[in-house]
Amino acid sequence: MPEEAAPAEPRGWRALVLGERTTPRGREADTAVIKAIRGTRDLLPPETAVWNFVEAEVRDLFRAYNFQEIRTPIFEETQLFARSVGEETDIVGKEMYSWEDRTRRDGERAQSLTLRPENTAGVVRAYIEHKLWERGLNKLYYIGPQFRRERPQKGRYRQFYQIGAEVIGPASAGSESAARDAEILELLATLLDRLGIEDWHLQLNSIGCSADRARYNEALQEALAPLAAKMCADCQRRAMRNPLRVFDCKVPEDQPRIETLPRMSQYLDEPCRKHFEQVQEILSAVGVPFALNDRLVRGLDYYTRTAFEFTHGALGAQNAILGGGRYDGLSELLGGPKAPGIGFAIGEDRLVLALNRPAESVQRKPDVYIAPLGPGMNSEAARLARELRCHPIVAELGDESFRLKKSFETATKLGARYILIVGEKEVKSDAFALKNLESGEQVLVPRTELPPRLRS
Ligand code: HAM
């Protein structure tokens, strides 16, 4: 393996990386407290219990729909995102964390790498790299962090988490069917209902195939020609290069002009129109409510045909809880075979916000607090804890240096259901005092009967 060249040490490197500063007494380490980077955050217990609850429910549901997990790297070649998400999108144009990797001694060129801003591109790359078409239809899901340099606010972070899924395969495996779109949308409605999230709204659109898009882009360009000069710089550039992206504009003054532009629904060809009708038909048959929104184009270039977003009332400005759609041409765009696909990504941070569930309601508290009383009892308590945890009982261990009062206080604070006293007398008789901290009832329980008693 060729070794990596040692990086040249740029001026000020130590100061930047180690935080050293020069003082009259020489070089001193900076002892200022280091905080998490803006837009990133620590997820702490007990809140992590809610995240675990959501992820367990999601995995359970994915199993019911026959999805399997895929894990792709957190960083990829920058090109992957530029080619799939699109150079004119906000994500690629403004929000990616990219860097030049070091040049290697073997002369291989430095690569531009990027922290993934989304996961669909990585999944399709993996589909091509591992010839996943040989498996027929792939139903894949992922849970993990994504990175975008956005202005942080509630519900919008620079490191955020997505729960996503992709259904991709050769057309012969049914990947193009409207039944796949409807199944994905029904899965999402079921998930939100199952988590107890009310007040969600599904907005649905079809943005057609590439031929429709070409005709629509032409119409947009024509309509934008007399308007663009009065619009923002992004719109002016997009009007020339990728007119569909004009719909991503957030500048309030541009909105009345954007409102006058032609609508995608007028440019769908017959097969795309039929496909979209079928999606709607199945959704109505399974009872998933939706609203049509022909201004919904999604902020990524790879979409074709069905595009959708679920919004939620309680999320304020960042009200898109999830988004997705079809990307029938993406595999070919990345050098692979034709592989129609559809997928979605839920913003997990936003899902947890919308869930608004107290951690206490999903957190498993200790079943028992084991209190060793007196010197030499730590080993015996550890032995008992090991036995009980196999059953599986959630056990917390105290320390022999604690007095009985402190053990009771700690057990109560932790919310344990029982406290188990491990003293010399108990060890000798192999029976232990077990107190129910709710009812106050205390009984002497032989060692072998502890597991069933604690589980009951
Ligand atoms: P997206 O609409 O860019 O789509 O992101 C999906 C979801 O991720 C959004 O609806 C939102 O809930 C969440 N999200 C996006 N940016 C942030 C942020 N900065 N902070 C917190 N949450 C955020 C995609 O990523 C596509 N890959 C979805 C897809 C999969 N399409 C087909 N397959």
CATH superfamily, domain 47-209+269-355, is: Bira Bifunctional Protein; Domain 2 (3.30.930.10)
292 pLDDT higher than 50: yes
| Residues in contact with 211: Cβ distance below 8 Å, sequence separation at least 6, in sequence order | 269
Closest CA to 355 of 202, 203, 194, 201: 194
**Angle value at C-alpha 274, between 270 and 280, nearest 5 degrees:** 150
pLDDT tens digits along 147-204:
999 999 999 999 999 999 999 999 999 999 999 999 999 999 999 999 999 899 999 9
CA of 1 to the centre of ligand 1 (A): 38
Confidence of residue 1 (pLDDT cuts 50, 70, 90): very low
Q: Summarize the confidence of residues 234-248 as an average pLDDT.
A: 93
Query: Cα separations (Å) of 434 from 132, 368, 426, 429?
Result: 56, 9, 11, 14
φ, ψ at 322 (rounded to 5°)? -165, 160
CA gap 10, 338 in Å, rounded: 47
CA of 71 to the centre of ligand 1 (A): 17
φ, ψ at 22 (rounded to 5°)? -95, 125
Of all atoms in ligand 1, which is nearest to the CA of residue 310?
A: 10
Lowest-confidence segment of 54-58, 298-302, 304-308, 314-318 by average pLDDT: 314-318
Q: Summarize the confidence of residues 229-245 as an average pLDDT.
A: 94
Q: Give me the residue label for tokens 């130590």.
A: 14
CA of 111 to the centre of ligand 1 (A): 26
141 in Cβ contact with 70 (< 8 Å)? yes
162 in Cβ contact with 341 (< 8 Å)? no
Both tokens of 86, joined, read 């699109």
CATH (residue range 364-455): 3.40.50.800
131 pLDDT higher than 90: yes
CA gap 295, 244 in Å, rounded: 10
pLDDT tens digits along 100-124:
997 666 777 789 999 999 999 999 9
| CA-nearest residue, atom 33 of ligand 1 | 343
Both tokens of 111, joined, read 């690569």
**Domain positions in the chain:** 47-209+269-355, 364-455
Q: Give me the residue label for tokens 């036995």.
A: 387
| CA-nearest residue, atom 17 of ligand 1 | 156
Q: What is the pLDDT of residue 11?
A: 53
φ, ψ at 235 (rounded to 5°)? -65, -40
Amino acid at 292: L
